[in-house]
């Protein structure tokens, strides 16, 4: 536990761990972050070490380069007044590079063992040839058949064979080595949307877990976000099927709207504002850049300010009468 810093000493009742990292469709990260926010879980420890990660770039603010920031993993706790188990949630900014994955997972498991954790839960995406309009099913894999049976009784399918890549699976293998139980809940996502966040899959896996842990969590906001993403995918598909006859560069009026909105976001670095403005221009010419733009808007929590401008990218120009 050389890289873990405990900020607050706590005692928990029969705690379980829920761990998540960025991955396909942001299924795991979205589910864990949403749960953490809804429960009001409090941070009590961090895992930070440069040996697990290679910086892939730097941020530029006010024309100056910042010092490279290494990803941080944070531990949160929630005392469950209704259930038999308290909750520890671990959320990391990134997954370590492959050759350090086992060591990284081992450090997390060693730490939670010291806190008397007996079960580890993770989430993952399951890319399949399905449509984004379908309700994704949830699959479960576990370290013991008895645990799997509990989820199957709740209409969660079992995954008979295959592989779970990355930390979402590896940490369960390490947990089993240490004598802990482990479960991974996988949500279906369409193959053509693996680079797009999938809040519906996040909602489905989270729904299965909160039911299993007897937690009371309102998933309404996650469903609303899922509906929004589905609408955006529909716009994109419609555009790809029927592209406009003429592409026009973004005009000054649209630029002014974007700049005005960006100015209203005081927490937005100048470099980020410039990047968003440039992405709007690029998306106007090449709609495939809209996905990158959407991620950037979500990253800085400014999507709602630019929702109209973003959706306007998908509108076709009216055809002129001859």
Residue 29 sits in a domain whose CATH number is 3.40.50.10900
pTM: 0.73
* Same-domain pairing of 100 and 213: yes
Measured CA to CA in angstroms, residue 139 lies from 2, 12, 52, 204 at distances of 35, 29, 30, 10
Any domain includes 236: no
Residue 45, pLDDT > 50, answer yes
Question: By three-state DSSP, how is residue 278 classified?
Answer: helix
Note down the domain range covering 179: 4-219
* Same-domain pairing of 196 and 271: no
* Extended beta strands in the chain, E state: 4-6, 16-20, 42-47, 60-61, 64-65, 73-78, 87-92, 119-128, 138-142, 157-158, 181-190
Any domain includes 195: yes
Any domain includes 235: no
Any domain includes 27: yes
Q: Dihedral of the CA atoms 199, 190, 147, 155 (nearest 10)?
A: 90
Any domain includes 125: yes
* Same-domain pairing of 215 and 248: no
Q: Could you tell me the two tokens for 316?
A: 């076709």
Residue 33, pLDDT > 80, answer yes
Any domain includes 209: yes
Any domain includes 322: no
Q: What is the pLDDT of residues 81-115, one digit of tens each?
A: 886 899 999 999 888 888 889 999 999 999 999 99
- Positive or negative CA dihedral for 78, 222, 296, 29? positive
* Same-domain pairing of 100 and 19: yes
* Same-domain pairing of 30 and 170: yes
* Same-domain pairing of 206 and 171: yes
Q: Dihedral of the CA atoms 5, 9, 11, 12 (nearest 10)?
A: -40
Mean pLDDT for 145-173 is 88
* Same-domain pairing of 61 and 135: yes
* Same-domain pairing of 122 and 201: yes
Number of domains in the chain: 2
* Same-domain pairing of 52 and 166: yes
What rounded mean pLDDT belongs to the chain?
A: 85
């Amino acid at each position: 536990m050389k890289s873990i810093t405990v900020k607050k000493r706590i005692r928990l009742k029969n705690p379980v761990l829920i761990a998540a990292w960025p991955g396909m469709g942001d299924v795991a990260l979205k589910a864990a972050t949403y749960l953490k926010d809804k429960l009001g879980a409090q941070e009590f420890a961090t895992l930070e070490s440069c040996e697990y990660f290679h910086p892939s770039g730097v941020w530029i603010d006010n024309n100056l380069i910042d010092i490279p920031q290494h990803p941080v993993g944070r531990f949160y706790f929630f005392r469950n007044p209704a259930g038999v188990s308290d909750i520890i949630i671990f959320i990391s900014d990134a997954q370590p590079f492959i050759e350090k994955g086992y060591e990284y997972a081992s450090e997390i498991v060693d730490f939670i063992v010291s806190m008397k954790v007996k079960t580890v839960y993770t989430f993952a995406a399951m890319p399949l040839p399905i449509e984004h309009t379908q309700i994704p099913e949830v699959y479960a894999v576990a370290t013991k058949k008895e645990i799997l049976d509990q989820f199957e009784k709740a209409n969660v399918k079992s995954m008979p064979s295959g592989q779970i890549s990355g930390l979402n699976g590896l940490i369960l293998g390490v947990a089993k080595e240490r004598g802990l139980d482990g479960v991974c809940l996988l949500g279906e996502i369409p193959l053509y949307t693996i680079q797009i966040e999938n809040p519906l899959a996040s909602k489905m896996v989270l729904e299965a877990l909160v039911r299993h842990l007897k937690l009371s969590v309102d998933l309404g906001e996650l469903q609303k976000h899922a509906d929004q993403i589905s609408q955006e995918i529909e716009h994109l598909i419609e555009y790809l099927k029927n592209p406009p006859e003429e592409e026009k560069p973004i005009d000054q009026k649209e630029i002014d709207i974007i700049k005005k909105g960006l100015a209203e976001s005081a927490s937005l670095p100048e470099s980020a504002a410039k990047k968003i403005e440039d992405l709007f221009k690029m998306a106007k010419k090449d709609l495939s850049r809209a996905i990158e733009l959407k991620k950037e808007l979500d990253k800085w929590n400014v999507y709602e300010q630019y929702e109209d401008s973003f959706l306007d990218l998908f509108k076709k120009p009216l055809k002129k009468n001859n």
